[in-house]
Amino acid sequence: MPERVVSFQGQSFHKLRRYCQRRGVVFKDPLFPASAQSLFFKRELPPGLSWKRPRVRNVMHSLAIYRNYSDICRDPRLFVDGISTRDLHQGSLGNCWMVAAISCLASEPSLWKKVIPDHMEQEWNPKRPDLYAGIFHFRFWRFGSWVDVVVDDRLPVSADGALLFCRSATPREFWSALLEKAYAKLNGCYEALEGGNTAEALIDFTGGVSEPLSLDREALSLQMDQRRALFQTLAQAHERKALITCFIRSVMECGLVRGHAYGITALKKVHVAERLSTGRKSRLLLLRMRNPWGTTDWTGAWGQGSQQWQQISRTDREKMGLAVRDIGEFWMEFEDFCHYFTDVVVCRLVEKSEEHARSQLSGVWDEQMDKRSRCGGCINHRDTFLHNPQFLFEVRGKEEEVLICLQQEDRRMRRKNGDGENLPIGFEVLKVEVNRFSRVQTVVEQAASSVYMDSRSVTVRACFSPGRYVVLPTTFLPGATGRFLLRLFSHSHIQLRLVSPSVFHCLLPQPTVVTTVHLCRVTGLSPGVYAVVRCENDSVRTPVFKAEGNPEFNLRSIFYRRYPRVHISIELWRKGVLWDSMLGEVRLKTAESERGRSHVMDLRRGLSRATVYLETSSSLCLTDL
């Protein structure tokens, strides 16, 4: 279990359970009572609704108050024959997004054991009924920590005595119903779970990073190479224990349900003998899907009962791993999947995936931070965009693939008050000077951009060349306030740090001018060279340029100068086996206040044909560049 676990609303499971055991009572949760407020805030209560415990009589038979208590069943269990996807059947709530995520969770013990901690200890013990206290707890990942949510075992049932919401195919199994109740409590009430994004639930249940993939069905139907590349991406993610779900936006007539979340539980490449040609085999890409409703919907090729299965014997199916394990599962060809499905969500498990290094920081979009608004909106709002919080990271050595995830605080609990909608959020990544440590005041080069979505999380995966970068998490419109968590995952150890608004108090002596130098390129030199930019006591060095053609350094540096009249030098060096040799140098002076000045300069000595191309900007205002 991750180190940081916090108790939701201050309720400690172990303390509450000990209290109930000592007094011989079953737990009644005062913070999530068996009443209408825990169920709905808009919907009307169904007729005949009541709250019942799975089993009370054998536990509290000595107490007269419980003698006439109506139980749900006689021999309840948290689990019956373990945990599987068939334990999940969606009830009368429109929360298939959550049920689909839990069905993915149920297939991986290392995951559900985090959400259902010490599950054996929570199980009903028929030999020690006196220990049962009617209390359970579950854990969900929220904003960088696992939140422990306590619930009692009172569950809403309909007039016919059946559970109103999520339930197992086995009537005496209750883990899914109790887990749903804990999630409802975390989000305010059961109705708050109506409608949602599977990616949100996957993050809550795993602490992973969800990457939405929008499928271009037209391109995938025409390009076999694109289909194979997508299949390989999903297969690699599944092999690394990633959780994958998908859904359809448009209306279907093939048994699939529009707007319904499905889980992908397996991907297989199989060879099937072609009946029309002797000795030849055709390679098929197949997916195993699951409908959280527990029904098999797909009526096309390789669906349950389709004639395609006649090409493979039952024995060969088992050898190929083409079994259907649970109710609601079915196979379909990947080409059909690409034709019908529009969206895929891949939830990568951080602890198991290739993104082994992680850095995360929380922040706020606030109107009154540092006497300046820190909720400046997206980059379209040029006057306020750079007022947003800024986070710096550095890529060293070589190009690095980095996964960046921005997550906003969950607002679902506010739905009761009519303010439960997510903010449209996104972020920009700017490439900045290699030695910058202060806030960015000018947008010079955009390195990556996310889309803006009213989702709990937005993710971008991109490759970054060596250098420094600043991430600006933003809301779409200025003035929107809220909390957020910024996470970064990479192969090497890349650290995020907040860029402080005030950085000059530690600089001694106090600078008077700030100058940026952009070393663009050098013509007339062969590969194997590098450059050094020197200004007063500071210097910045480029990597050795090894590619063919004229060196394209594209190096940006920033200097806080005490003596603005002293020149800045750019030295060109050739990398040697034993020692490096200096090829030449250019020196330049800058005005105390200038913007975007271009310089084209020949080397002062050495190779006279070499030409250096530069751009500089200077300002007397140290927070201007």
Query: Residues 447-504: pLDDT tens digits?
Result: 999 999 888 999 999 999 999 999 999 999 999 999 999 999 988 889 999 998 755 5
Neighbours of 440 (CB within 10 A): 18
Query: What is the distance between the alpha carbons of residues 436 and 27, in angstroms, rounded to a whole number?
Result: 57
pLDDT value of residue 526: 84
Query: What is the distance between the alpha carbons of residues 339 and 78, in angstroms, rounded to a whole number?
Result: 40
pLDDT value of residue 568: 94
pLDDT value of residue 556: 95
pLDDT value of residue 278: 44
pLDDT value of residue 88: 75
Q: In this structure, what is the dihedral angle of CA atoms 330, 331, 337, 341, given to the nearest 10 degrees?
A: 10
DSSP class of residue 71 equals: B
Residues sharing a CB contact under 8 Å with residue 65, sequence separation 6 or more, in sequence order: none
Choice between 290 and 193, residue whose per-residue pLDDT is larger: 193
Say if residue 138's pLDDT is above 50: yes
Query: What is the distance between the alpha carbons of residues 554 and 462, in angstroms, rounded to a whole number?
Result: 19
DSSP annotation string for 160-221: TS-BSS-B-SSTTB-HHHHHHHHHHHHHSSSGGGSS--HHHHHHHHH--EEEEEE--HHHHH
Pick the most confident of 339-353, 487-501, 530-544, 593-607. 530-544
DSSP class of residue 89 equals: B
Query: What is the distance between the alpha carbons of residues 112 and 104, in angstroms, rounded to a whole number?
Result: 9
The segment(s) of the chain belonging to CATH 3.90.70.10 are: 211-348
State both tokens at 8.
């939701």
pLDDT value of residue 251: 57
- Confidence bin at 65 (pLDDT 50/70/90): very low
Say if residue 58's pLDDT is above 60: no
Say if residue 508's pLDDT is above 70: no
Which sequence positions are flagged as catalytic?
A: 96, 260, 291
Say if residue 330's pLDDT is above 60: yes
Q: In this structure, what is the dihedral angle of CA atoms 181, 184, 185, 191, given to the nearest 10 degrees?
A: -120
Average pLDDT in the chain: 85
- Phi, psi (5° rounding) for residue 205? -90, -15
Sheet holding 482-490, edge to edge: 357-365, 482-490, 400-408, 457-464
The segment(s) of the chain belonging to CATH 2.60.40.150 are: 513-619
Relative orientation angle of helices 96-106 and 198-206, to the nearest 10 degrees: 40
- Confidence bin at 592 (pLDDT 50/70/90): confident
As a whole number, mean pLDDT of residues 189-210 equals 89
As a whole number, mean pLDDT of residues 343-362 equals 76
Q: Coil, strand, or helix at residue 370?
A: helix
Contact 95, 196 (CB under 8 A): yes
As a whole number, mean pLDDT of residues 130-152 equals 93
DSSP annotation string for 538-560: EEEEPPPB-SSSS-EEEEEEEEE
pTM to 2 decimals? Answer: 0.86
pLDDT value of residue 386: 94
Per-residue pLDDT reduced to its tens digit, 232-283: 999 988 888 888 888 887 656 677 877 777 888 889 988 776 544 444 557 7
Helix (H) or strand (E) holding 365: strand 357-365
Burial class (CB in 10 A: 0-12, 13-18, 19+), 16: middle
- Phi, psi (5° rounding) for residue 529? -120, 160
Say if residue 366's pLDDT is above 50: yes
Question: Is the preceding peptide bond at 509 cis, omega within 30 degrees of 0?
Answer: yes
Domain 513-619 has CATH 2.60.40.150: yes
Say if residue 126's pLDDT is above 60: yes
The segment(s) of the chain belonging to CATH 2.60.120.380 are: 357-498
Triad 531, 534, 536: Cα angle to 5°:
175
pLDDT value of residue 64: 39
Query: What is the distance between the alpha carbons of residues 158 and 139, in angstroms, rounded to a whole number?
Result: 27
Range in 235-249, 427-441, 448-462, 568-582 with the lowest mean pLDDT: 235-249
pLDDT value of residue 59: 45
Token look-up 């109103």 returns: 164
As a whole number, mean pLDDT of residues 188-209 equals 89
Q: What is the CATH class of 357-498?
A: mainly beta
pLDDT value of residue 218: 81
Task: Say which CATH topology domain 211-348 has.
Answer: Cathepsin B; Chain A (3.90.70)
DSSP class of residue 496 equals: -
Say if residue 581's pLDDT is above 50: yes
